[in-house]
């Protein structure tokens, strides 16, 4: 029996819409990352980008469990000596909820050359509207 390796011609990419309302951040991010990679397909191949385009709406209604809203910090460094910056996840959720989910998904993807392709297929919007109606996306229910 030969080992199967997927090619770009073996599948078609779908457009799916995920509603993030009342979903925990980590659970949503892990399921979106798996869908971006194509792990839901039976022909999944790790070195081929066989995932779907994912549109996430209502990112401003994501739920943070426990005390993460006030105590968990998001850090980044400006590049200058002593200039480490940080925000709480509550502040990040109020200011840019789409960035919070985007960063969570980014950090759950593998750190390789395909990561840029995966993130290019992720579209995150804070409200219920998105400009991708021409692609006729299908609604997908993810588990809470």
For residue 82, what is the DSSP state?
A: T
pLDDT tier for residue 124 given thresholds of 50, 70 and 90: very high
Both tokens of 61, joined, read 């209604």
> pLDDT of 12-59, one tens digit each?
999 999 999 999 999 999 999 999 999 999 999 999 999 999 999 999
Give the residue extent of every domain in the chain. 14-140
**What whole-number percentage of the chain has pLDDT above 90?**
89
In words, the CATH class of domain 14-140 is alpha beta
The whole-number pLDDT of residue 144 equals 79
Residue 2 has pLDDT above 90, yes or no: no
Listed in sequence order, the residues at least 6 apart from 3 whose beta carbon sits closer than 8 Å to its beta carbon are none
The whole-number pLDDT of residue 83 equals 94
Of 116, 122, 79, which Cα lies nearest the Cα of 98?
A: 122
């Amino acid at each position: 029996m030969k080992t199967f390796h997927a090619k770009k011609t073996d599948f078609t990419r779908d457009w799916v819409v995920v509603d993030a309302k009342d979903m925990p951040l980590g659970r949503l991010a892990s399921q979106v990352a798996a869908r971006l990679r194509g792990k839901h397909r039976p022909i999944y191949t790790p070195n081929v980008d066989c995932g779907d385009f994912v549109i996430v709406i209502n990112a401003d209604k994501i739920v943070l469990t426990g005390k993460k809203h006030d105590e968990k910090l998001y850090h980044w460094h400006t590049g200058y000596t002593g200039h480490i910056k940080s925000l709480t996840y509550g502040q990040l959720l109020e200011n840019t909820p789409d960035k919070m989910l985007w960063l969570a998904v980014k950090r759950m993807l593998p750190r390789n050359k395909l990561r840029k392709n995966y993130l290019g297929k992720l579209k995150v919007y804070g409200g219920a509207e998105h400009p991708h109606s021409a692609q006729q996306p299908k609604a997908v229910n993810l588990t809470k």
